[in-house]
Structure 1
Amino acid sequence: MTRRDAALFLLLAATWGSAFAVTRVGLDDLPPTLFAALRFDLAALVMLPLALALGRRVRPRSSADWAYVLLGGLLTVGLHHALLFAGQLYVASAVAAVLLGLIPVVTPALERLAGTDEAVGALDVAGVLVGFAGVVVIANPDPARVVESARGAALVFGSALAFAAGAVLTDRTDPGLDALGAQPAMYAVGAVALHAATLVVPGETLAAAAFTPSALGAIAYMALVAGVGGFTLYFVLLRRLGPFSMGLLEYVIPPFAALTGWYYLDERLGATAVLGFALVLVGFAVVKRGRLLAAVGARPDTAK
């Protein structure tokens, strides 16, 4: 990883970490799936003229282009955010960010299921189970709100699975579109899928939304900063660094999410969430022990 890539990596972590607190603000006035849909409506409208002005090709032509756009739009944009926004109705910003730490644990398992990595062994299964145990600890259901706590954890975990699947499957494509040129179509696909979901999910109508200044500000921030800026960075770095390295992003985001949640929303990250995050880290280390050991043993002039 070059210094430039490292700087962009940290910038992306800060951008997406702050987005958790902004999402909580928006959810005070907007239904979650509609909130996500409106975010990507605006992101697509802004990204299209920007990509054209920069001379990027934005129209998918080949089957690889369409696979890249559809998989990214449906999984990384649509399903991931529908589940994540819904889950944040029940869990704090930092807890949601910590739960997404499972992405680096499940990504290797999905890579192997997709046939892009070595076979799964007993130790790999143990690592994944340790990571799942971390989710249970992080959820830490309140006896008075056991159903709500479990529901929030399950929704955010589902969003982690969707994101990991999107990373693995888009990485297997070989599109002619670059990351910037693909964004308008990818956002549009995600927005259409999210709007379709609002038709079948109860309480997701425009009548249920209150377009207050804070809600409009949340939509703008999530669309332009976390959306256009963040996702452009993500897909550029994904092509440069691959799913494994980008999965590590989820271990850098929680401190930024905790800080912004504490500063703006007076949220606290409890001891159980820290313990659960530690279990997720252990699970990741077990699953990716070979690559981690190789990285530790690499000479400074050859390690990337």
Structure 2
Amino acid sequence: MNVNRDILLFVALAIAWGTAFSAIEIGLEALPPILFAALRFDVAAAVFAAAIAVRRIEWRPKTSADWIAIAVGGGLLVGAHFALLFLGQSYVSSAIAAIVMSLIPIVTPPLALAVLPRTRVRAPAVVGLLVGLAGIVVLAVPGGSLDGHAIGIALLLASALVFAIGSVLLERTRGTLPIVSLQAWAMAVGAGVLHALSFVHPGEHATSISTALTPATFGALAYLGIVSTAGGFFLYFVLLERVGATELSLINYVTPVVAVLVGWALLGESITLTTIAGFALIVAGFSLCKIETLWRTLGPMVGRGPTRPLEKPNGVVVAGNVYQVRANTREDAPGTGEPAARGQCAD
């Protein structure tokens, strides 16, 4: 294994996903949030459709499970999730948005317990959930880094919850579509949902796309669709094959850091003590939720802990977000790793 190459790929993935939040911030200056999200997935769906055509991958849904996976992926994991995400980020900085989104692997286990009764949630994960939520309270307090803009936090938290619910529901499917095809379907359906939401939203009717698409806005759209989505998808699965899902789950630590630093350097966003404290609590909560994973990953580095073979389960990435799906047929493409109850996300 070429460790130096893996480190470079990991850094590239963190940059592709972490910088997405700054690109969203730039686009929101000219476009209303839901319409901007819809246009992002228009680009992403076109990229994945082209990949299907070039690779001649099977794209037609064959079972009811395929259609359920498409509905959940397009309706919840793309449509509802990104509508709430873009709306929430219109109130807060890109750094805060990235930090709140890092809650997804923390809130997923209790939701999995409610939907999948056989899911085990250990005591550290319960404590981790409470610690992570405390981090959100720290970020949202009046006079803190949000200046009392709790509505943005509420929308982002709802976005994280919707994504976690969608990933848990998708865990129950047994689809047959290759991963790239499911990606394309989810993004196309999600883009349609977002366009419909934008159409009925009263605050988005007056926007003219032709005048709003400035060079900066167009560049942000292209970056999100091609680099953060298609590029992130490619890098994720290359790394998954090389290092496995356990090590790759550490991307959840790095992506918000990249988003904070890029927002500070590129957009002039401030990094306050409240921001640092909130992020520290969320990282602590994440560490408690993933304590077994961290032990398996970091233990061997210091001569302790178990050894583990590479993991190759099934899963789907949507615009930098990873959600899990099982299949009862042969693998048509690499998977993303851990079950939905221990899922991961990075925008």
**TM-score with structure 1 length normalisation?**
0.85
Name the structure 2 match of 1:275: 277
Shift of 1:170: 2.9
Change (3 A) 1:241 1:171: farther
Matched, 1:298 2:300: no
1:5-24 equivalences under 5 Å are 8-24=9-25
Tell me if structure 1 keeps the 8 A contact 2:104–2:161: yes
Identity level (%): 44
Residues 229 and 205 of structure 1: is their aligned pair in 2 closer, same or farther, counting only changes over 3 Å?
A: farther
Q: How many residues align?
A: 302
In the TM superposition, residue 51 of structure 1 has moved relative to its aligned partner by 1.2
| Matched-pair contact (CA < 8 Å) for 1:180–1:232 | no
Shift of 1:139: 2.3
AA aligned opposite 1:286: L
d(CA) in 1 for partners of 2:260, 2:174 = 37
Deviations 1:147-196 (A, max 9, x none): 6x101111111121222233333344332222212222111110111011
The equivalent of 2:198 in structure 1 is 198
Q: Which 5+ residue runs of structure 2 have no aligned equivalent?
A: 312-347
Summarize the Cα distance change of 1:67–1:246 in structure 2 as closer, same or farther, 3 Å threshold.
Answer: farther
Secondary structure in 1 matching 2:102: helix
Unaligned stretches of 5+ in structure 1? none
- Tell me, yes or no, if the aligned pair for 1:52 and 1:58 is still in contact at 8 Å: no
C-alpha displacement at 1:119, in angstroms?
Answer: 4.3
Conserved? CA contact 2:15–2:258, under 8 Å = yes
Instruction: Label 1:241 to 1:104 Cα distance change in 2 as closer, same or farther (>3 A).
Output: farther
Deviation at 1:82, TM superposition (A): 0.9
Question: What CA RMSD, in Å, does the superposition of the two structures yield over aligned residues?
Answer: 3.1
Distance 2:126 2:226 in 1: 39
8 Å CA contact 2:296–2:306 kept in 1: the answer is no
Residue in 2 aligned with 1:99? 100
Check the 8 A contact 1:68/1:170 in 2, yes or no.
yes
**2:58 aligns to what?**
57
Say which of 255, 258, 270 aligns to 2:257. 255
Q: Distance in 1 between matches of 2:296 and 2:183?
A: 34
Partner of 2:159: 159
User: What's the TM-score once normalised by structure 2's chain length?
Assistant: 0.75
Indicate conservation of the 8 Å contact 1:183/1:232, yes or no.
no
Q: Secondary structure at the match of 2:269?
A: coil
Query: Which has the bigger relative contact order, CA under 8 A and spacing at least 6?
Result: 1
Write the mapping of 1:101-250 to structure 2, written as runs, cut at 5 A: 101-115=102-116, 118-120=119-121, 124-142=125-143, 149-205=149-205, 207=207, 209=209, 210-231=212-233, 248-250=250-252
For 1:131 and 1:150, locate their aligned partners in 2 and report how far apart those are by CA, in whole Å: 16
Which of 256, 260, 266 aligns to 1:264? It is 266
The aligned counterpart of 1:48 is 49
Give the 3 Å change call, closer, same or farther, for CA 246–67 of structure 1 in structure 2.
farther
Rate the CA distance shift 1:232–1:63 in 2: closer, same or farther, 3 A: farther
Alignment-mate amino acid for residue 254 of structure 1: P
* More divergent stretch after superposition (274-283 vs 224-233): 224-233
